[in-house]
Chain A
């Protein structure tokens, strides 16, 4: 039985990159549907995505990355997709590596597969020292909290099965969602698997995390993590199924 797969691509002012991202996914596997979530862009992101052959969900105003991604998961849930893959709209995730993410789901070994930039020790991704420290800190912290080795908690390159889609469609953190989402998965006892991937340099624009903000970011996310561990969840932890 073939699985219906949708690629969820959040995009904010990415008119220059989005067309290539969509085309690349279709080139890898034409059977994968692509939905671009336009997070209130001020440029022609939505038009570029439609022209490239993607379905587009246009948020009426900018909601932030977490809510945009969640919109894509809700789309996937509503339309009954079996698998959702999340890729960033700026082209930093290589669609050619999609298959690696899908394999553990296909074998039902995981509910969520994350593309990790650090799983492969020889990886070519070398972020600046400040960011690397931050990423290491969160990886250690989440590993400690989860009792499982997690190397990349900030990766937005993820594949989800229906169970995980249903969870995230109902409850997904908002501001810097990836780290907190990892905690959410652990809390709901979903199986998380990492596979090594390489990330490309950003083709256009700049990362949303600047050096100046990274200390503030680190502090804020650490706090959010601790709150996340104690927080009551919209979906009871005992029954992650809908």
Chain B
């Protein structure tokens, strides 16, 4: 059976995680899209901490006999891996977007440079020698 103190500590920890995530969302420091997995993580850990009978049952299913709180750790690690994997996909997308933006900026700048050169050439057209000097 899970020691009561562990259930209390884990429950408090999970509750703090949920509160922290909610506060970050409220303060606009965390986008909902990236908070969802963290909220699910917090809720699952909270449920597993408080619902002591459930934790024991699940431990029994998985053949964990000595120490049911091991299931808490396992669940926590699983969710952390899920969050990290999610971040890797986000990072990949950001990298692609970043490349696209850099290319777009470079192409626009080349277009702008060409336009400006064209204007300068038009201005200089009234003064042919200056244009020649610039071109040379």
How many residue-residue contacts, CB under 8 A, span A and B? 36
Which of A35, A56, A67 touches B99 (beta carbons < 8 Å)? A67
> B82 near A: Cβ within 8 Å?
no
The minimal Cβ–Cβ distance linking B4 to chain A, given in whole angstroms, is 50
Q: Is B114 an interface residue (CB 8 A)?
A: yes
Check if A58 sits within 8 Å of B106, measured CB to CB.
yes
B65 lies within 8 A of chain A by Cβ: no
Looking at A71-79, A177-185, A220-228, the stretch in contact with chain B turns out to be A71-79
Contacts of A67 in B (CB 8 A): 99, 102-103
User: Which of B102, B103, B113 counts the most A-chain CB atoms under 10 A from its CB?
Assistant: B103
> Does B102 contact A61, Cβ atoms closer than 8 Å?
yes
A60 at interface, CB cutoff 8 A: yes
Cα–Cα distance between A56 and B109 once the two chains are bound (Å): 10
A74 B103 Cβ-Cβ under 8 A: yes
Which B residues touch A27, using CB under 8 A? none
Q: How large is the interface on A (under 10, 10 to 19, 20 to 34, 35 or more residues)?
A: 10 to 19
| Contact indicator B106/A70 (Cβ below 8 Å) | no
A contact residues around B103 at 8 Å (CB): 59, 63, 67, 70-71, 74
Is the CB–CB distance between A75 and B105 below 8 Å? no
Asked if B114 and A55 sit within 8 Å, CB to CB, the answer is yes
Are A56 and B110 within 8 A (Cβ)?
A: yes
Residues of A within 8 A of B106 (CB): 37, 57-60, 71
Q: Interface SS of chain B: helix, strand, loop or mixed?
A: helix
Considering only CB atoms and an 8 Å cut-off, how many residues of chain B contact the other chain? 10
What separation, in Å, do the CA atoms of A60 and B102 have in the docked complex? 6
CB contacts (< 8 Å) of B102 on chain A: these are: 59-61, 63, 67
B110 pairs with A75, CB closer than 8 A: yes
Contact mask for chain A residues 81-125; partner B; CB cutoff 8 A; 1 contact, 0 none = 000000000000000000000000000000000000000000000
B107 within 8 A of A: yes
Query: Whole-angstrom distance between the alpha carbons of A85 and B109 in the complex?
Result: 22
The residues in A between 132 and 171 inclusive whose CB is less than 8 angstroms from any CB of B are none
Measured in the bound complex, the distance between the Cα atoms of B99 and A70 in whole Å is: 10
- CB atoms of A58 and B99 under 8 A apart: no
Residue of B nearest to A58 (CB): B106
Give the residues in chain B near A58, CB-CB below 8 Å: 106, 109-110
Contact A78 B107 (CB under 8 A): yes
Q: How far is the CA of A12 from the CA of B126 in the complex (A)?
A: 39
Q: What A residues does B109 contact at CB under 8 A?
A: 57-58
Top 3 closest pairs, chain A to chain B, by CB? A57-B110, A71-B103, A59-B106
User: Interface on B for A, CB 8 Å cutoff?
Assistant: 99, 102-103, 105-107, 109-110, 113-114
- Further pairs besides A35-B110, A71-B103, A74-B107: 10, Cβ < 8 Å: A37-B106, A55-B114, A58-B110, A59-B103, A60-B102, A60-B105, A63-B102, A63-B103, A67-B102, A78-B107
Q: List 12 A-B contacts (CB under 8 A).
A: A37-B106, A57-B109, A58-B109, A59-B102, A59-B103, A60-B106, A63-B102, A67-B99, A67-B103, A70-B103, A71-B103, A174-B99
Q: Using CB atoms and an 8 Å cutoff, list the residues of chain A in contact with chain B.
A: 35, 37, 55-61, 63, 67, 70-71, 74-75, 78, 174
